[in-house]
């Protein structure tokens, strides 16, 4: 089954035509996980999951928002308790070393302080996931020079005893990819696979065991070829499947079937 394991129909980018976008998801017979980045967007993801039986929600405070609001454990736990089977993951959470300077502008004293804060909030998400036996949706991004985000994510997951989840829109190297998979984590691939010229992602897609791969759009961002530069939406995840199929020497239908089953199992989609 075609599943977009990570998108944001809960974001403002869809405010004018959300029902049309959702209609196209229904028409494609697909399932969609809408991922929260703060409390308001997590709430909205749950609303969408209640209104549409092919949609599910993930709850979290994105690392770039840790200076915009506090991690509200009580509110997130309430959303989980009141929406069993609709809330399927915790995230997105993780470490983002690309946008550290933005947090400095929001009042953080130093880069080290921002990193410490992101890690603290990340650990809170891991505990919430463990307490509720839910998988994590992890965001990672290296800085232009600072390439340590993924190793710090790995160490944090390991130290905190995290058990399952996905490193979404995977952007680390292959050595790090192997460590995440050894830890039991899945890797998520976006439209970037359709235009990445570095060869790194291709090598990782070629290597990854099929039972650990997920496909996603991260819509409204990261539109695949041939839609680059336009707003992304869940139905375009098929283009990610096509590219993954080409790299792995599988048929598109096989990739849709395998990655769909992986998502159903990891997120326990009902
Ligand atoms: Zn995202």
What confidence tens digit (pLDDT) does each residue in 97-148 have?
A: 999 988 888 889 999 999 999 999 999 999 999 999 999 999 999 999 999 9
Share of the chain above pLDDT 70, in %: 100
CA of 35 to the centre of ligand 1 (A): 6
Range of the domain at 106: 3-266
Q: What is the pTM of this model?
A: 0.98
- CA distance linking residue 79 with residue 85, whole number of Å: 11
CA of 42 to the centre of ligand 1 (A): 12
- Between the CA of residue 235 and those of 20, 110, 115, what are the distances in Å? 12, 41, 35
The sign of the torsion formed by the CA atoms of 62, 66, 71, 75 equals negative
**Residues in CB range of 174: below 8 A, 6 or more apart:** 200, 203, 204, 207
CA of 36 to the centre of ligand 1 (A): 8
Q: Tell me the average confidence (pLDDT) per consecutive run of 10 residues in the chain, 270 residues long.
A: 98 98 98 98 98 98 96 98 97 96 88 97 98 98 97 98 98 98 98 96 98 98 95 98 98 98 97
Nearest to 97 by CA among 153, 164, 158: 153
Number of structural domains in the chain? 1
Q: What CATH number did the domain enclosing 209 receive?
A: 3.20.20.140
CA of 6 to the centre of ligand 1 (A): 6
């Amino acid at each position: 089954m075609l599943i977009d394991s990570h998108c944001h129909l809960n974001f403002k980018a869809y405010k004018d035509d959300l029902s049309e976008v959702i209609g196209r998801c229904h028409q494609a017979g697909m399932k969609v996980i809408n991922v929260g980045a703060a409390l308001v967007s997590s709430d909205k993801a749950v609303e969408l999951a209640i209104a549409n039986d092919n949609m599910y929600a993930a709850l979290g405070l994105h690392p770039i928002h840790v200076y915009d609001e506090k991690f509200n454990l009580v509110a997130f736990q309430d959303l989980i308790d009141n929406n069993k089977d609709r809330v399927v993951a915790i995230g997105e959470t993780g470490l983002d070393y690309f946008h550290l300077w933005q947090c400095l502008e929001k009042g953080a004293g130093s880069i080290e302080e921002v990193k410490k804060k992101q890690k603290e909030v990340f650990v809170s998400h891991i505990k919430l996931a463990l307490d509720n036996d839910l998988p994590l949706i992890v965001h990672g991004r290296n800085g232009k020079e600072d390439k340590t985000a993924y190793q710090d994510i790995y160490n944090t997951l390991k130290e905190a005893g995290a058990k399952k989840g996905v490193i979404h829109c995977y952007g680390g190297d292959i050595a790090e990819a192997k460590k995440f998979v050894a830890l039991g984590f899945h890797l998520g691939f976006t439209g970037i696979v359709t235009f990445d010229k570095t060869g790194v992602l291709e090598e990782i897609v070629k290597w990854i065991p099929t039972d650990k791969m997920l496909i996603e759009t991260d819509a409204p961002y990261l539109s695949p070829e041939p839609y680059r530069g336009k707003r992304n939406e869940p139905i375009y995840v098929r283009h990610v499947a096509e590219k993954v199929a080409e790299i792995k020497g599988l048929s598109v239908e096989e990739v849709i079937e395998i990655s769909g089953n992986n998502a159903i199992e990891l997120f326990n989609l009902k």
